[in-house]
Amino acid sequence: MEKLVSLWVVLLVGIFSIWVDGLKQLNNVTDISLSFEESLFGLSSESPGDNPLMIDLTLIQGASAKGAVCLDGTLPGYHLHRGYGSGADSWLIQLEGGGWCNNKRSCVYRKKTRRGSSMYMEKRIPFAGILSNKPEENPDFFNWNRAKVRYCDGASFAGDSEYKAADLKFKGQRIWSAAMDELMTKGMNNATQVLLSGCSAGALASILHCDKFRSLFPASTKVKCLSDAGLFLDALDVSGGHTMRNFFGGVVSLQELRKTLPSTCTDHLDPISCFFPENLIANITTPLFILNAAYDSWQVTSSLAPGSADPQGTWRDCKMNHEHCTASQIQFLQEFRNHMLNALKGFSKTEQNGLFINSCFAHCQTEKQDTWFADDSPMIGNKPIALAVGDWYFDRQDVKALDCAYPCDKTCHNLVFK
């Protein structure tokens, strides 16, 4: 097969090829257990560490009247921890990630999970990494108002349609608006500086909504955006097929995203192309920071070498552990990195933008404490991710950090599946 098909078929060929019992961070030897859903929709984005701050879920009570509901029609929600002191008028908004659904069957399944219904969302979640309230864990944003908006629409907060026959609500755009309205009433309307962030599918959402976020505030408010592991590439898979394009095509078609994707892209490209960040970033006028692993582990496993593109399992050992890759496989991954760097050439020339592209096999590095800011965090040029983002946000330094190619970086926390 040359494309991602229905969720049912994906289950039969190996659950997106990432059915795993756990994963190991090579450098700090941390075992993390993945649930069925996390292995299917993307890696867990949180590594809370010891005694994490736990924040309650708040449902947006007025959302239903605005048509802003999850896939199953339940209310959307968020988690908010108040800032204080010098951060009392500063806000960081984190958009949750967690994959997408691309057809009726996968969306019907999804609406019975926390990615499609607030009925199944955790009532409390840990705030770690960029959401931590400890200065030793989060030096620049620890005392800001920090909110995490939950993801339950299946299309990176981008849709505004429905599938009546399957009782599916595709209302990501309205959830976005309702969440921003709600947070404005909580004090964000008085913010002097704000940062819109996101991980994975949430990072794609932060790119899609970056300029809209800027428009919510007066010119005097400092507004910037951050994409963590959101640079999904329109790349060929190991069979020469278009796994990611075919998958995104299902998302775009099912949720009728042609109506909501940025017109600055759709006026000259097809809607599927306009769901790929590489075709969006050139038109974003708000300062944007792109943080991504050059060998993004989710893309390697699920887009470049899924079971559907590798029926003989030639890539199985390599995608489970990069140290088991052959020379030709490493060369294929280097070409993927080159694609990423080429996609960023124009973006990197704009002074207001920032980059941190480390040559690691990782995915989502801002919410994991060990990768965001710790004694052994990944670095480029002796600078960890947290300080790079802070230097860029506060204009302390121009940050265009591009790592050397694998295997030169010895600070990576590479993901190994077992």
Q: What is the DSSP string of 331-358?
A: HHHHHHHHHHHHHTHHHHTSTT-EEEEE
Q: What is the DSSP string of 190-257?
A: G-SEEEEEEETHHHHHHHHTHHHHHHTS-TTSEEEEEEES--------TTSS-HHHHHHHHHHHHTTG
Distance, first Cα to last Cα, the chain: 25
**CB burial class (10 A; 0-12, 13-18, 19+) of residue 285?**
exposed
For residue 342, what are the contacts with CB-CB under 8 A and spacing of at least 6?
A: none
Q: Measure the CA–CA gap between 316 and 337, rounded to whole angstroms.
A: 20
For residue 349, what are the contacts with CB-CB under 8 A and spacing of at least 6?
A: none
Residue 148: name the closest of 122, 173, 170, 110 by CA. 122
Active site amino acids: 200, 296, 363
Q: Measure the CA–CA gap between 161 and 164, rounded to whole angstroms.
A: 9
- Which tokens sit at 313? 């399992």
